[in-house]
Chain A
């Protein structure tokens, strides 16, 4: 009984979104013969790994009470750099791409910290500006990887499982542990829950926020590089709208836009919910435009249900 209450209020290890993930998985398994095959399930993991990796970092930033709208552009820039700089060697190209992502995150964080301007505005500016940088750098050209080692990596597997899926799951585990078990994770919740109280407790809230922006920058760049290895190429428009998909996944996973609440396990559920829905509807040959409509409706429906549950649990509070 108590466990059910903790579960519904989202404070347990497993988040309510997982009920939904399990439900749609069962639904699509019945509707499609191919859905529940190992090949398709790993396929879902690979498809969702791009959004999923960014969502890991976005969870931290959103628990902090901030948001990062520039992740899609950062992804695009990192992808272009990782392909475009391959004349200097793959290692250099990849490291440069990821360092760029971290640096852009640091810049976002520094601006939010030092100027006090809302993260929404700062990263909205960054989203536009960084996308501009991609066009400056690529001159509106797509790049193709000439080194096959790069594009082979995106398709490689360990046993039956794609490497990209393994990277995503390992990163998820690491981010879960850092959030739950470290002082940085605890401070991230405190800063988002009540910045003033966190500052009064001697927590360096600016530093905490900046590190989290760097983390999301890192994951956006990593996602960009891995996406480029999947395609063996990069395009200047890569990553458009990804910030919205990422935020959708994080919010579906129970993280609050106001900060202070959230979990990596919830985010994983949110990412899989989107991935399974897209994949499953694809298998059922639902036209792509309808898929978008259905996803939009589901996002709002889930949040309404979530709010109803939370309202109920608030009413139980004795004043």
Chain B
């Protein structure tokens, strides 16, 4: 086992500095599962300690134990050398441990300041809110984070990235000793990430211990001083970031080495399956023209808000075009609803699995057959045997890990959830498959499985449109790449021969001449 070559967390060499926080032999059991088995982990003041592991490895559970949301079945939590018992999140927070959530927990109808101080609004004259102090202190925190928006802005008006800043600002109210970031970049675009990195580095320099959970190797190597790896609920070693490389860490994480296979892209293309001619939706995007051939994977790359998802939704009949036309298989298509789009052989794997892709309270089988009930029913009545056959087929084909078809999809890991969504669409036997951010928030192992699956589908004749904000993903799967910026297609590239620089320029508006000055400088 490769863990033998790495040092144990408790006796790490180098700085002999005592950790600010130690977790010792934490065990957490759920009915039927041991989520954490004797896991130890520590953080020093002023370091970024990355926590890595595939989905289901126990990272989130460990952090929930730390934040007082789960009660461990065994083990100790030591904060500054003293044993603590956190039986609720508030106590953990008061002790100085703050969790920045993967899913945001802001109140959209309130101002930034109110959200930052939610639950601890400054008071005056007994019980009245001290608005002046609230905004002054909020502004101080926002300045510290170098945020560009005002404490009086409504949270609902902010972009996802800015909402995340608010989430972080909220953590600073408690002058935290340890801040846990759980997949903080999952919803950020490449050029928003440096802002987050700056904040994390600022906090680190101020002596805060930082736990950073992420699937993204580049981020981890960029930010962290040490890396700890969990696998299947067990602690699998800690390494100094400076002494290791991506390969070694990946091996620790999944027990095998991982490579992107750029040569395996599909090669045989048929006629145009989808063609857009000057497609426009007022206020969203304008004059979008491109095509996707049968057997081809076209990547659509751009920043969040560039209009990519809106283009997909329009193709899928969810938005009414105000100009231009959509051709399917050479015929002009007038799609007025998603129902018609599905009937025409279009499938959309949406950006947000939980909000748009799945019925979380339904079981795996029912989610899988949802888009194609006609084929598994007779005279309106469901045929459970046929449904089970469909479920088994895709469950086996995609190696979906579930305890059984009765499992509610809400209890599955992100990668398996996404496979259920993809299976749902394959069952409808579509001709055009649109995938919007197909691997967002999915661990490395499942990610490459899904990439392989996408390529395999294209080889069997599907026309595939992949929307992504991750450059390696777009480069790894696409035959051609459409770049979008500010509601317009700015460039089209050969997926095998494009440089990363050219792509970045195209999506940050440097190619745009008619749309005026781009708002943002491209990430250098």
Partner of B33, one of A184, A199, A318: A318
Q: How large, as a class, is the contact surface on chain A?
A: 20 to 34
Q: How large, as a class, is the contact surface on chain B?
A: 35 or more
Contact A193:B60 (CB < 8 A) given known A199-B338, A200-B348, A200-B350: no
> CB distance B343 to A181 under 8 Å?
no
- Of chain A, the residue at the smallest CB distance from B384 is A181
Could you tell me the distance in whole angstroms from the C-beta of A266 to the nearest C-beta in chain B? 15
- Chain B residues closer than 8 Å to A199, beta-carbon distance: 318, 338
| Cα–Cα, bound, A171→B382 (Å) | 20
> CB distance B361 to A198 under 8 Å?
no
> CB distance B359 to A197 under 8 Å?
yes
- Chain B residues closer than 8 Å to A187, beta-carbon distance: 373
> CB distance B382 to A200 under 8 Å?
no
- Chain B residues closer than 8 Å to A316, beta-carbon distance: 30-31
- Of chain A, the residue at the smallest CB distance from B428 is A202
Interface positions, chain A 189-245, Cβ under 8 Å from B, are 189-190, 193-194, 196-204
> CB distance B357 to A318 under 8 Å?
no
> CB distance B339 to A194 under 8 Å?
no
- Chain A residues closer than 8 Å to B366, beta-carbon distance: 186, 189-190
> CB distance A318 to B358 under 8 Å?
no
| Cα–Cα, bound, A260→B370 (Å) | 14
> CB distance A183 to B356 under 8 Å?
no
Is B411 interfacial (CB-CB < 8 Å)? Answer: yes
> CB distance A190 to B370 under 8 Å?
yes
Is A117 interfacial (CB-CB < 8 Å)? Answer: no
Is A32 interfacial (CB-CB < 8 Å)? Answer: no
> CB distance B339 to A204 under 8 Å?
yes
Contact A196:B356 (CB < 8 A) given known A190-B362, A202-B371, A318-B61: yes
- Chain A residues closer than 8 Å to B33, beta-carbon distance: 318
Is A261 interfacial (CB-CB < 8 Å)? Answer: yes
| Cα–Cα, bound, A140→B273 (Å) | 66
- Chain A residues closer than 8 Å to B154, beta-carbon distance: none
Could you tell me the distance in whole angstroms from the C-beta of B72 to the nearest C-beta in chain A? 13
- Of chain A, the residue at the smallest CB distance from B347 is A202
| Cα–Cα, bound, A183→B411 (Å) | 24
- Of chain B, the residue at the smallest CB distance from A315 is B70
Is A305 interfacial (CB-CB < 8 Å)? Answer: no
Instruction: Annotate B342-363 by CB proximity to A: 1 below 8 A, 0 otherwise.
Output: 1100001010000111111110
| Cα–Cα, bound, A136→B337 (Å) | 41
Is B381 interfacial (CB-CB < 8 Å)? Answer: yes
- Chain A residues closer than 8 Å to B64, beta-carbon distance: 319
> CB distance B357 to A319 under 8 Å?
no
Partner of B362, one of A183, A189, A203, A204: A189
| Cα–Cα, bound, A184→B380 (Å) | 7
| Cα–Cα, bound, A202→B339 (Å) | 4
Most chain B CB inside 10 Å of its own CB: which residue of A200, A316, A318: A200
> CB distance B382 to A198 under 8 Å?
no
- Of chain A, the residue at the smallest CB distance from B373 is A183
Interface positions, chain A 162-190, Cβ under 8 Å from B, are 181-187, 189-190
> CB distance B424 to A201 under 8 Å?
yes
Is A297 interfacial (CB-CB < 8 Å)? Answer: no
| Cα–Cα, bound, A190→B358 (Å) | 9
> CB distance B410 to A200 under 8 Å?
no
Contact A186:B35 (CB < 8 A) given known A193-B359, A260-B361, A319-B61: no
Is A317 interfacial (CB-CB < 8 Å)? Answer: yes
> CB distance B31 to A203 under 8 Å?
no
> CB distance B359 to A202 under 8 Å?
no
- Chain B residues closer than 8 Å to A186, beta-carbon distance: 366, 370, 373, 382
> CB distance A193 to B339 under 8 Å?
no
> CB distance A196 to B355 under 8 Å?
yes
- Chain B residues closer than 8 Å to A203, beta-carbon distance: 339, 370-371
| Cα–Cα, bound, A261→B363 (Å) | 12
Is B442 interfacial (CB-CB < 8 Å)? Answer: no
Q: 7 tightest A-B contacts by CB?
A: A202-B342, A193-B359, A201-B371, A183-B373, A319-B60, A194-B359, A202-B339
Given A183-B380, A200-B316, A202-B338, 13 new contacts (CB under 8 A): A182-B377, A182-B381, A183-B374, A183-B381, A185-B382, A194-B358, A197-B350, A200-B318, A202-B341, A203-B371, A261-B361, A316-B30, A318-B61
Spell out B's residues near A (CB within 8 Å).
30-31, 33, 35, 56, 60-61, 64, 316, 318, 337-339, 341-343, 348, 350, 355-362, 366, 370-371, 373-374, 377, 380-382, 410-411, 424, 428
- Can you identify 18 A-B contacts, CB atoms within 8 angstroms? A182-B377, A183-B380, A183-B382, A184-B380, A189-B366, A193-B360, A193-B362, A194-B360, A196-B355, A197-B350, A197-B355, A197-B356, A199-B318, A200-B356, A200-B357, A203-B371, A261-B361, A318-B30
